[in-house]
Amino acid sequence: MAVRADVSKTGEIEMLFHSAVQKWGGIDILFANAGVGSLLPVADVTEAHFDEVFTINVRGLFFTIQKALPYLKRGSAIVLNASVADEIGLPGASVYSASKAAVRSFARTMTTELVDQGIRVNVVSPGPVPTAILHRNGLSQDATDRVMSFLVSHVPMKRAGTAEEVANAVLFLASSDSSYVAGVELNVDGGMGQV
């Protein structure tokens, strides 16, 4: 079932969960994956840009989790999508990186807050992965290719990741295979954030 909802609007988040719970009775896994980002030097960041990134990446993610809590079953898992950008000093990514660092911080606090409800919280942090987010920034294909090439040049494995590799990490964190894993940030970044 697909439900179109804007995470920047709490009413739409509530509608999303109401629809899901009506169909399935509760939630076992929540993957909070909505996000936006574009590279802008500090001097070029506008209030509108800052507000958009934080409204979706931080506020939207937080209230997605909050609105899901009444429906999350004991033993459920929450996986938050951050980014390797929360660990490295990527030029032009100050606002995006800070928003993803907030996501990482949420996981630490929520791990301790939700443990008594039997809910595990973890984070997956992708490195460069060619997905639709790269094309939403208004950059030409040539500029997008240059950005990806720059990012990949900092990856020890010398390649971009794939959406499937990130999905496999999310599935691990959401499954009973990770039943004793809580509060971690699992980098799926070819070593970019570690080396």
Which residues are annotated as catalytic? 96
Please check whether residue 108 is in contact with residue 122, taking contact to mean a CB–CB distance below 8 angstroms. no
Question: Quick one: 33 exposed, middle or buried, by C-beta within 10 A (0-12, 13-18, 19+)?
Answer: middle
Paired with 77 in beta bridges are 29, 120
SS3 4: coil
From the list 50, 144, 47, the residue with the least C-alpha distance to 97 is 50
Pairing of strands 72-81, 120-126: parallel
